[in-house]
């Protein structure tokens, strides 16, 4: 028995009277943006292979620089230095080494910085750093740099480094207020930083409002948006709760029911990050810093959507 299915007679009328949303410009309509990538030093041989596979995959995109993180309390100092030095020796990339104030005297930090100079590294990402494992809050080392702005000044006394610092569109977790946090950023810039790279964010309006505040505060260096393509939503939720980055309810809805479906998670992650960066690009932002998590697939795809293409070898 066939049963005729009746269409809703009002459907077409709803569609005809609905709002028309202008599309975002394609990557081909805008100049390709400047990119930079962040990696972390590997803990074992398997992870090292994964890291270098990601580096080789992204290298042809010609990023401005690639940064290598520094563990809490300087826990990855040797591995960071080894990775940065190898980048300088074996690739065409410009490496940037993270350096923190935690658990070290000024001279110890300066020695690390001079070691980077000897390895041909001229770019430092200067950060206060997270407390060592087991510590509830940051306490300056008695003979060390107290804050990132002090570290920036110290680096300026050593050499003419290119210096990046951190910025927090949603406020650093330890800041007493958004105004105080913005003042900290301004002091780091005034101490000699070349640019700021933001903590990741998912609500694009938060970043754009932060840019307005930075401009009003007299900051003129680039405030480069940090972009985190999310492939493991549960993990990002936990980390975001610790670092003060908000996770919008709409994003949780998009990843709902995908805990055991990694392939679909990756596809959703690409869509979410692509919409974010294309909207920023349409708003005039032409630099992006990707937190790669030592994986290249999502970052490479998003760079392609932004109009970035591999550069010819040689």
Which residues 6+ apart lie within 8 Å of 231 measured at CB?
Answer: 262, 265, 266, 269, 293, 295, 298
- Report the alpha-carbon distance of residue 37 to residue 67 in Å, rounded: 6
Contact between residue 198 and residue 168 where contact means Cβ atoms under 8 Å apart = yes
How is residue 117 written in tokens?
């100079």
| Residue indicated by tokens 């690009």 | 281
How is residue 212 written in tokens?
């307005």
- Report the alpha-carbon distance of residue 265 to residue 10 in Å, rounded: 35
| Residue indicated by tokens 């200067």 | 126
Note if 38 is an active site residue: yes
How is residue 81 written in tokens?
């230095």
Which residues 6+ apart lie within 8 Å of 131 measured at CB?
Answer: 72, 73, 102, 137, 138, 139
* Catalytic entry in 38, 59, 149, 170: 38
| Cα 173 to Cα 107, 134, 167, distances in angstroms | 28, 17, 12
- Report the alpha-carbon distance of residue 144 to residue 100 in Å, rounded: 10
Pairing of strands 123-127, 65-68: unpaired
Catalytic residues: 38
């Amino acid at each position: 028995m066939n049963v005729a299915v009746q269409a809703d007679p009002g459907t077409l009328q709803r569609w005809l009277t609905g709002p028309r949303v202008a599309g975002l410009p394609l990557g081909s309509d805008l100049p390709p943006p400047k990119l930079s990538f962040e990696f972390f030093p590997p803990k074992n041989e398997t992870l090292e292979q994964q890291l270098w596979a990601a580096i080789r995959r992204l290298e042809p995109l010609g990023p401005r620089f690639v940064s290598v993180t520094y563990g809490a309390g300087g826990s990855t100092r040797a591995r960071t230095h080894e990775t940065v030095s190898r980048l300088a020796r074996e690739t065409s990339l410009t490496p940037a080494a993270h350096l923190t104030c935690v658990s070290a005297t000024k001279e110890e930090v300066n020695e690390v910085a001079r070691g980077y100079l000897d390895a041909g590294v001229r770019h430092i990402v200067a950060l206060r750093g997270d407390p060592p494992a087991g510590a509830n809050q940051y306490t300056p080392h008695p003979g060390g740099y107290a804050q990132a702005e002090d570290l920036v000044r110290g680096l300026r006394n050593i050499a003419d480094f290119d210096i990046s610092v951190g910025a927090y569109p949603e406020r650093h977790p330890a800041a007493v207020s958004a105004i105080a946090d913005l003042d900290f950023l301004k002091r780091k810039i005034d101490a000699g930083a070349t640019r700021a790279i933001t903590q990741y964010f998912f609500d694009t309006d938060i970043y754009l409002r932060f840019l307005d505040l930075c401009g009003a505060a007299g900051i003129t260096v680039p405030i480069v948006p940090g972009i985190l393509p999310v492939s493991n939503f549960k993990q990002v939720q936990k980390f975001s709760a610790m670092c003060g980055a908000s996770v919008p309810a709409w994003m949780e809805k998009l990843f709902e029911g995908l805990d055991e479906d990694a392939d679909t998670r990756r596809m959703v992650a690409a869509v979410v990050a692509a919409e974010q960066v294309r909207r920023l690009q349409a708003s005039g932002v032409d630099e992006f810093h990707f937190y790669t998590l030592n994986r290249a697939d999502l970052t490479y795809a998003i760079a392609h959507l932004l109009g970035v293409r591999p550069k010819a070898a040689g």
